[in-house]
Amino acid sequence: MRPGPTHRLAVIGCGAFGRFCLETVASMDGIELAALVDTDARNLDAASRVWRTGRKAGADAPVLMKDHRELLQLPDIDTVWVITPPYLHHRLAKDLLMAGKHLFLEKPGSLTVAQADEILALSRSKGLHVAIDFVMRHNPIYTLIAELHHAGLLGPLERFALENLAADENLPPQHWFWHPELSGGIWIEHGVHFFDLAAWLAGTPESLVSTAISRENGEVGLRGGAAGMVDSVSATVIYGNPGVSEKSIANFYHSFTRPRVLECTRASLGFQRANLNVKGWVAEELSGRVLAGEGLLEKLSMHPWLEVETLEEYREKRVFLGRGRNIPSENLIAIRGSLGDRQEVYRESIRKGLRGLLDAVAGRDSGMVSFSLARDAIRLAEAATVSQRERTHVPL
Across the chain, mean pLDDT equals: 92
Whole-number Å distance between alpha carbons of 371 and 106: 10
Q: What is the mean pLDDT of residues 28-47?
A: 95
Bridge partner residues of 290 (DSSP):
274, 333
Q: How confident is the model at residue 95 (pLDDT cuts 50, 70, 90)?
A: very high
Selected residue with higher pLDDT from 252 and 219: 252
Q: What is the mean pLDDT of residues 137-151?
A: 96
Question: What integer pLDDT is reported at residue 235 of this predicted model?
Answer: 97
Question: Residue 241 belongs to what H/E stretch?
Answer: none
Asked if the model's pLDDT at residue 119 lies above 80, the reply is yes
Asked if the model's pLDDT at residue 216 lies above 70, the reply is no
Whole-number Å distance between alpha carbons of 370 and 49: 31
Question: What integer pLDDT is reported at residue 54 of this predicted model?
Answer: 87
Question: What integer pLDDT is reported at residue 4 of this predicted model?
Answer: 58
Question: Residue 357 belongs to what H/E stretch?
Answer: helix 342-361
**46 HSE (CA, 13 A, CB side):** 15
Q: Give pLDDT tens digits for 283-336.
A: 999 999 999 998 999 999 999 999 999 999 998 889 999 988 899 999 999 999
Q: How confident is the model at residue 93 (pLDDT cuts 50, 70, 90)?
A: very high
Asked if the model's pLDDT at residue 3 lies above 60, the reply is no
What is the percent of the chain with per-residue pLDDT over 90, rounded to a whole number?
Answer: 83
Whole-number Å distance between alpha carbons of 105 and 371: 8
Domains defined for the chain, CATH in brackets: 7-134 (3.40.50.720), 136-345+379-395 (3.30.360.10)
Question: What integer pLDDT is reported at residue 366 of this predicted model?
Answer: 80
**359 HSE (CA, 13 A, CB side):** 16
Q: How confident is the model at residue 200 (pLDDT cuts 50, 70, 90)?
A: very high
Asked if the model's pLDDT at residue 224 lies above 80, the reply is no
CA nearest to 160, candidates 322, 277, 263: 277
DSSP 3-state assignment of 272? coil
